[in-house]
Structure 1
Amino acid sequence: MKLDRRQVLAGLGGIAMSGVAQRSFAQTKMSLGASEVISISDGNLVLPASMFFDGVPQEELKAILAANGITSDQLAPPCNMTLLRQPDRMVLFDAGSGSGFMPSAGTMLDSLDALGVAPEEITHVVFTHAHPDHLWGILDDFDDPVFPDAQLMIGQAEWEYWTDPETVDTIGEERASFAVGAARRLEAVQDQMMMFGDGQEILPGVMAHATHGHTPGHMSFEIRDGSNAVMVGGDAIGNSHVAFARPDWASGSDQDTDLGAQTRMRLLDKLAADQIPLMGFHLPHGGLGRVERDGDAYKFVPEDA
């Protein structure tokens, strides 16, 4: 059985390929001074390629995908969450899918356990955006907070968008379940939540960068210690093939496709020029790697390659 775009965006992706969770737990890590940045797995999604690539030049698309060994009409992007471990805090970027989105995802707690980290040890959870695979894991199966002692943090624009009661009627039928799910979960944890804006140092050494387009308030985060840094990019750069080879192409996964492409090109240029490693939520090899120029385009070079 194949998934179509409507099934996935309605949150029904789990009806197929329910046994393909990538239970690799801790994947890649890097040191930044006294801090450790660790990629942990929340499993993977199962998505129709058409969700991303409808409307782009198909012959050029086929060549790009073939060069990256992709021949299926379904994609199984990994979900890489980022843990920032410091002497006085434990910061998790995004909360994963939980059990309510796709059976192939939702392995975050197992991944933390493999690192010897209990949910109660997480001091902060910082959200790039409020799509299901980044937010829904904030509540357990009983609708209780998974991180009851943590300070939760989200961009002001993202909070306002998903808590606006009109969003469910304006986001489009295919994504209406996203709006309902986000509003319910954000309301449940609102007493733990604080908001921030673009360019704000939300924690010592953690700077928020507006990377809007994938969602109206999507944020990325530059973690820096002196001259060393890494960018937690969320879904601003959503894959390691087409997003790098043709970042100017619209992606159907972005809510604002034009702004998403502009943001992607700007971010890739910054990462390549400043030689800042990227931790990408849906990139391979645990998501950690470098952005390099490749003629008029870019390429992703995994840190462990």
Structure 2
Amino acid sequence: MKRRDFIARSLGIGLTGLPLHAIAKTSIGTAELTTVSDGNLVLPAGFIFDPMPQDELQAIRQAYGLEGDQLTPECNLALYQDGQNTVLFDVGSGPDFAATAGTIADSLDQIGLTPQDITHVLFTHAHPDHIWGLLDDFDEPLFSEASYYMGREEWDYWWNPATVDEIGAARQAFAVGAKRRMEVIEDTVNFFDDGDEVLPGILAIGSFGHTPGHMSFEIRQGNDAALVVGDAIGNHHVAFERPEWPSGSDQDAEAAILSRTRLLDRLAAEKLNLVGFHLPDGGMGRVEKAEVGYRFIGDRA
């Protein structure tokens, strides 16, 4: 059994999934924002749904066809190209996390890029499907020419030796894996805080809760803008319809609810484009206010 298959099975992640290389695009001024697939995950439904009110949840699951025991969320990395910089938001799962994910190099090839073309990597957070792709099959940096950026709070949390003991048995592998990859970039990583302009036209937005230092990013040129929200809005169903419900995927449910609600309010009010890591059809779309909560309007809808 391959190492990633063993890890996937120990975490309850399945080994079958969806077609790869889903891509969506939009323009931001003279720049282009693209989503590039890293494959998908296969998760136990309870990983998301267990903390929610089950009676009310059932109607939403039926409406979205989510009545089975598994969820198969896409993994969509945002790629921003402004003519000078080629910026990748997160790096995907790599070869060790799940057999259905870790396809970023192939997906970049589909659009004529190699990992060496990436000039900057900005991390939303350090969960496995967002940072384990830092290393290739030989444990060497895949994006060898890139500069790396991570929020200071997120880095400090995973770097803290106490985290592996405090995070809980189900997530201990997350902590060990994050620390191992962060050690590779320890001497070169650039830190930023909530509200900082990380790169020209890219603003960090604290969206804490999914992890203690989770960051989203506003990308803007003039009046054109989009928000890259990582896992702060983690799905297209319950997170939109009932953002006030706790999700089992969030490490701090109360903080995550505040972040999710704030982002949805802004996205709907300002009619901004949205990129969500686990949203469907390439992860790109808009948010509309609904009679109850919100709805996701995908660019391919």
Q: TM-score range by the shorter chain?
A: over 0.9
Q: Does 1:22 align with 2:31?
A: no
Q: What is the match of residue 233 of structure 1?
A: 229
Give the distance between the partners of 2:209 and 2:70, measured in 1 at CA: 23
Write the deviation string for residues 187-233 of structure 1: whole angstroms up to 9, x where unpaired. 01222311100000101100000000000000000000111101000
Give the distance between the partners of 2:109 and 2:103, measured in 1 at CA: 10
Q: Does 1:217 align with 2:213?
A: yes
Write the deviation string for residues 65-90 of structure 1: whole angstroms up to 9, x where unpaired. 11112221210000000100121110
Q: Which runs of 4+ in 1 moved over 3 A?
A: 10-17
Give the distance between the partners of 2:143 and 2:55, measured in 1 at CA: 46
Q: What is the match of residue 84 of structure 1?
A: 80
- Selected match of 1:260 from 232, 256, 264: 256
Q: What is the match of residue 116 of structure 2?
A: 120
SS of equivalent to 1:190: coil
One-letter amino acid of the structure 1 residue matched with residue 100 of structure 2: S
One-letter amino acid of the structure 2 residue matched with residue 248 of structure 1: E
Give the distance between the partners of 1:34 and 1:91, measured in 2 at CA: 15
RMSD: 1.5
Cα pair 2:126 2:178 within 8 Å, conserved: yes
| TM-score, L = length of structure 1 | 0.94
Write the deviation string for residues 214-255 of structure 1: whole angstroms up to 9, x where unpaired. 000000000001111010000000000000111000001000
Cα displacement (A) at 1:19: 3.5
Cα pair 2:134 2:141 within 8 Å, conserved: yes
Q: What is the match of residue 200 of structure 1?
A: 196
Cα pair 1:81 1:92 within 8 Å, conserved: yes
Write the deviation string for residues 273-298 of structure 1: whole angstroms up to 9, x where unpaired. 11111100000011101010001310
Cα displacement (A) at 1:11: 4.6
1:95-114 residue pairs with structure 2 within 5 A? 95-114=91-110
Q: What is the match of residue 73 of structure 1?
A: 69
Cα pair 1:211 1:236 within 8 Å, conserved: yes
Cα pair 2:25 2:34 within 8 Å, conserved: yes
Cα pair 1:150 1:192 within 8 Å, conserved: no
Cα displacement (A) at 1:12: 3.2
Aligned length: 296
Give the distance between the partners of 1:13 and 1:192, measured in 2 at CA: 33
- Selected match of 1:190 from 174, 186, 190: 186
Q: What is the match of residue 177 of structure 1?
A: 173
Give the distance between the partners of 1:135 and 1:197, measured in 2 at CA: 19
Cα pair 1:13 1:101 within 8 Å, conserved: no
| TM-score, L = length of structure 2 | 0.95
- Selected match of 2:147 from 146, 151, 160: 151
One-letter amino acid of the structure 2 residue matched with residue 91 of structure 1: V
Cα displacement (A) at 1:22: 2.5
Gap runs ≥5 in structure 2: none
